[in-house]
Chain A
């Protein structure tokens, strides 16, 4: 029943930050005025941001959970396998070559998917993919792509630098609601699919061979989950760029609160990540209004100390 209470608290917090997200901004609107006609444009815009925050938070955090489990590595996060740098690289190339802005999300998606395919094949030995080679090739591809990004940015004009920040540090400023609706389909379906694998994840996180002794085809499930997480992160990068940390710390925080069982961890993490993202987005809009700070900066600034605090407390994560 402790669990029920935790879920109730999370739901309460979620409603609180949703209201906060609607009220606060460059212009503060009192709660009573939210539904007035003259505020409708702002209301819709902010509601869209909240939906984007829920989608991005849940998608990234659940992807983090899945990768932490299948790689049995607590430092795994959604961008570990190169999706972020791949997306970033293609976006920068698109900017430098002057391709129309409309194609940027597509470029990001292709970059993310292409780099994960590259990483996976680099790590593959015949039919097997070892966790360590997967992580290593992910890191190497990320470093290589990042350096090319920096190179391209430094030889191009100043204006491009500002544009690329949006992609590399993320923003929930949804400029096209149709794109967001489109993206929500793979993200929600992906989260649901990962949830279906809850019990397999429980077994795999205790050891790959242990899981095989329980009748789980770990190689097949690993492949499927890498594909699903790639799809979620690539889709999210299209609409909100790269948002770090949420996929790493929220799962860890929730493991401390509800335990490692994925059947409860996944729903609890969805709620917590939504709360975290809405709150961070609220800060990114209001701290230096009307200038908006990239949300990835906020998640890292809040996330890093929280993470250190958890580590210092000596609790297992």
Chain B
């Protein structure tokens, strides 16, 4: 398997303020990682650093040993894709047109999409179960359908590593499970490495093989769900009282909220 992405002592953020402070993290091939942490703990900033949107002020990030900031941008985007929380619906592109833009990293300038690109797009649509509405306009879809379209686009990039920023935040529980089942399937069958930010601790617990708990820009704890999701860790980081028992179906930790007294 081996290390796919190595984040090594990274400090960075916006302008003069470093949001991430000295984070080191190895992402192995085949991992299914959940990043959790309170608001402002630096989850999104960490992903933005790892996808080259932000440049670290200290430390380095290496993809298979190669400094990602020295890689050709298109080559980088053929390996690593990013799924955002939502997509702009200001302009009414069709689903197929949007998924097709995932082929951009594979195209040279002046080169138009070939039949192979169309086939890969078609596969991505099928995998995400979105081919049924591929000719619909993006503004006609529900939030759950839109999220699947964004995932389809990232799959048409044919990445080996997929970052997702709260892929389930706009979705009801049915759609949440549907999206995570899909990601798990891609992880198992296509050996796609998945790293995602999740707000729901129990979703992270049920699906991820590794959890990274961020607090104030640094890793507070990382490891298997049962190592990270203890009431001590959660109470210390989230500043709230919780109860942790076991999910009777999966045997994984199950975090229960404790409402405050009046």
Contacts and interface: CB of A to CB of B under 8 A. Distances in A.
Whether chains A and B associate is yes
Interface of A: 72, 74, 196, 199-200, 202-203, 205-207, 209-210, 212-217, 255, 259-261, 316
B44 to A, nearest CB: 11
A284 to B, nearest CB: 33
B77 interface: yes
Interface string B79-117: 001101001101111100110011011010110000000
Contacts of B78: 215
A316 B92 contact: yes
B77 A213 contact: yes
B73 A217 contact: yes
Given A212-B53, A213-B82, A214-B104, A202 B87 contact: no
Contacts of A199: 101, 104, 107
B185 interface: no
Contacts of A205: 88, 90-91
Given A212-B52, A213-B51, A261 B97 contact: yes
Contact of A259 (B73, B92, B102, B109): B92
Contacts of A200: 104
A203 B90 CA distance: 13
A206 B109 contact: no
Looking at A196, A199, A259, which has the most chain B CB atoms within 10 Å of its CB? Answer: A199
A196 B112 CA distance: 9
Looking at B76, B92, B94, which has the most chain A CB atoms within 10 Å of its CB? Answer: B92
B87 A207 contact: yes
B139 interface: yes
B104 A216 contact: yes
A196 B109 contact: yes
A213 B81 contact: yes
B74 interface: yes
Given A206-B101, A214-B157, A215-B74, A259 B53 contact: no
Contacts of B98: 206
A268 to B, nearest CB: 15
Given A213-B77, A214-B102, A316-B139, A202 B93 contact: yes
Looking at A209, A210, A255, which has the most chain B CB atoms within 10 Å of its CB? Answer: A210
A199 to B, nearest CB: 6
Given A215-B74, A215-B77, A209 B53 contact: yes
A255 B76 contact: no
A196 B110 CA distance: 6
A138 to B, nearest CB: 21
Contacts of B101: 199, 202-203, 206, 214
Looking at B77, B78, B101, which has the most chain A CB atoms within 10 Å of its CB? Answer: B101
B109 to A, nearest CB: 7
Interface in B55-82: 73-78, 81-82
A74 B91 CA distance: 10
Interface in B119-175: 139, 157
B94 to A, nearest CB: 7
Contacts of B81: 213
16 contacts: A72-B90, A196-B109, A196-B110, A199-B107, A203-B104, A205-B90, A210-B84, A210-B87, A212-B53, A213-B51, A214-B101, A215-B74, A215-B104, A255-B92, A259-B92, A260-B91
Interface string B180-200: 000000000000000000000
Given A255-B91, A259-B92, A316-B139, A214 B53 contact: no
Contacts of A214: 77, 101-102, 104-105, 157
Contacts of B94: 259, 261
Contacts of B139: 316
Given A214-B104, A215-B105, A261 B87 contact: no
Q: Which 4 A-B pairs have the closest CB atoms?
A: A215-B77, A215-B74, A215-B105, A260-B91
Contacts of A216: 73, 104
B133 to A, nearest CB: 16
A261 B94 CA distance: 9
Given A205-B88, A215-B76, 17 more contacts: A199-B104, A200-B104, A202-B93, A203-B104, A206-B98, A207-B87, A210-B87, A212-B53, A212-B73, A213-B81, A214-B102, A214-B157, A215-B73, A216-B73, A261-B97, A316-B90, A316-B139
